[in-house]
Amino acid sequence: MFTPLDLESEILLAHVLNCNRLQAHIALADFNKLVNRRALGEPIAYITGHKEFYGRDFIVNKYVLIPRPDTEKLVEVALSHIPTSGNFWVVDACSGSGCVGITLALERPNINVVATDISHNAISVMNKNIEKYKLSNRVKTRVGYLLDPLREFKRKFNLLVANPPYIKPSNIKILPKDIRCFEPIVALRGIGKLGIGLHKKIIFQASLYLKPNSFILLEIGYNQGSYFRHFGKIIKDYSGNDRIVEVENG
């Protein structure tokens, strides 16, 4: 039942929004729908279609993992390996929304990026972000498994970055509801008992596509560093957790 309080609420909302009461009524109804979606556990990033990463806005939807602040460490480490001038080629594997590869391209106007993802839908989202930041001349996308799409490029790359799925399969069921029920499982669930199978595949594949003395930078889980110490250097994030494995391609 519509009450005097509802009426007053609409009048006040119309005043705040500088619109008429009908527009306020519609806005309030839309707002309540969004609140209900959030109450059911849907992440705000999917509700709004946007998420901030490294100080920039990225388009997201249910087909891509929501960018996390933890992944900004991957960008920072990558930038430390990229010169500010000269021709430089970067691979962004398991790219999802493209937040990593696009950020690198925006921070380093001298580089070119090839981004790969197994999901056509994820690549579609990344293409929207590429268009948003007018990077179609320097960031190219390819659909395919890990590094397989790189076969078509007749060149060697200078750097490889990736944020592959790394959650242990046995841990998927204990993830928070807003992650477990809404984010794409294919972007979360790692391969093998420890969840690090894709990381190992990327490391072993990388020598086919990288120049000598180049680097592979992979995001890992907060407690997975011990699994990678024989591959390279483990870099922690600002919370002191394992976050990046840095492997030199000899």
User: DSSP secondary structure string, 172-191?
Assistant: GGGS-HHHHTTS-GGGTB-S
Give the pLDDT confidence of 189-237 residue by residue, as tens digits.
999 999 999 999 999 999 999 999 999 999 999 999 999 999 999 999 9
3-state secondary structure of 54: coil
pLDDT at 1 over 60: no
Provide the β-strand partners of residue 50: 59
Report the candidate in 142, 134, 138, 152 with the shortest Cα–Cα distance to residue 117. Answer: 142
In whole angstroms, give the CA distance from residue 156 to residue 141. Answer: 17
pTM of the model: 0.93
Taking the domain 45-249, which CATH number applies? 3.40.50.150
* pLDDT value of residue 168: 96
By percentage, how much of the chain surpasses pLDDT 90?
Answer: 89
Mean pLDDT of all residues in 153-165: 96
Is pLDDT larger for residue 22 or for residue 46? 46
Q: What's the chain's average pLDDT? A: 95
Average pLDDT score over residue span 109-119: 98
Q: Of 209, 212, 250, nearest to 231 (Cα)?
A: 250
Q: Are 127 and 156 in contact (CB under 8 A)?
A: no
| Tens digits of residue pLDDT in 37-80 | 999 999 999 999 999 999 999 999 999 999 999 999 999 999 99
